[in-house]
Amino acid sequence: MRLFVPLCLLFLLNGCSSAGYYGQLMQGQWQLLQAREPVVQILADPSRDPRLREQLQRAQAARDFASEHLHLPDNRSYRLYADIGRPLVVWNVFATPEFSLAPLTHCFPIAGCVAYRGYYSQSGARGEAALQKLAGRDVYVGGVEAYSTLGWFDDPILNTMLGWGDERLATLIFHELAHQRVYVKDDTEFNESFATFVEQEGTRQWLAQRGLPPVASTLMAQRDQFTALVLATRERLAALYAQPLSAQAMRTGKAAEFKRLRREYRQLRDGPWQGDKRFDAWINGPMNNAKLLPFGLYDQWVPAFAGLFRQVRGDWRAFYEHAAALGKLPMDERRAELVRLGG
């Protein structure tokens, strides 16, 4: 999962309620910025790791494609590299009430309100998760390999982004640059769905330009089917929580829905997927409301943006203009239009 991590700049700290939390955000971002170095220097230095140089060379081809063909921002973002010495850059903490899918939101001066809290250390995230659990909330901690600062800084390619292969790295670059192109305060579902569509369509075009087949088509289909299972579970849980039931009845119904999710997943895995276990670790782990949140954030409006892209006949500039105009609408009007586009 990749989610935007909210930042609080030093001159905005007077509006923050927790100096300790914002302090770790500033320190983490500062350390990341200090680790950056231009990719061109690494490519020109024969003493550097050959594999790293090869990966960065290919990444720069995807970066050029992002600006030249997808019309994403042409700046220094992802033309720098930083090794931060850990496998994930940040950990996000999601929390919901026991009988609700509404996330505990956190508001920031730049990013607006988002459905999670980011930490640059796993221990910090676990500490926050423990506090939320003590408050009786469902909690999930998800590691993140990349994020966007929305153009406030020149975001680097991170060592955390290099372990997934060329196609995956390209999708990350497209996704994070999309956040710089269009971003709407206080609407995480809009922002992440928009960036996910740009990532998916951008990757399809990138592969086609290189004369490569959609090698991940099977994986994409499985991911879409898995996401559909999770979103269907969310809908059934929302209907359950809307009923006037006792706490015990709610817990029983909730457990039954998670059992159904696992059962339906295994039917897919052992049937059409021919035993592919790529989602086993997630499905077999502890399950709660908060664990389902990222799926809604990333996928809810993707069909709507696909509809918008068709409406503008694949014109990226027109697509961004219309998406930005959608973002300026009042929330109710924006969502109604998204529903129409996705219909």
End-to-end CA distance of the chain: 26
pLDDT given at position 166? 85
* Summary mean pLDDT of the chain: 90
Q: pLDDT at residue 17 above 80?
A: no
Query: In which band, very low, low, confident or very high, does the pLDDT at 146 lie, cut at 50, 70 and 90?
Result: confident
Cβ(161)–Cβ(145) under 8 Å? Answer: yes
pLDDT given at position 99? 98
Q: pLDDT at residue 165 above 90?
A: no
Tens-digit pLDDT profile for residues 197-212? 999 999 999 999 988 7
Sheet holding 157-158, edge to edge: 36-38, 80-82, 157-158
pLDDT given at position 216? 56
Percent of the chain with pLDDT over 70: 92
pLDDT given at position 12? 39
Q: DSSP per residue over 135-166, as a string?
A: TT-EEEEEEES----TTSS-PPEEGGGGGGHH
The stretch 15-42 carries a mean pLDDT of 86
Tens-digit pLDDT profile for residues 62-96? 999 999 999 999 999 999 999 999 999 999 999 99
Q: pLDDT at residue 7 above 70?
A: no
Q: How far apart are CA 307 and CA 311, in angstroms?
A: 6
For 242, counting Cβ atoms within 10 Å of its Cβ (0-12 exposed, 13-18 middle, 19+ buried), the class is exposed
For 145, counting Cβ atoms within 10 Å of its Cβ (0-12 exposed, 13-18 middle, 19+ buried), the class is buried
Percent of the chain with pLDDT over 90: 74
Query: In which band, very low, low, confident or very high, does the pLDDT at 163 lie, cut at 50, 70 and 90?
Result: confident
The stretch 18-28 carries a mean pLDDT of 85
Tens-digit pLDDT profile for residues 106-144? 887 666 777 889 999 999 999 999 999 999 999 999 998
The stretch 296-323 carries a mean pLDDT of 93
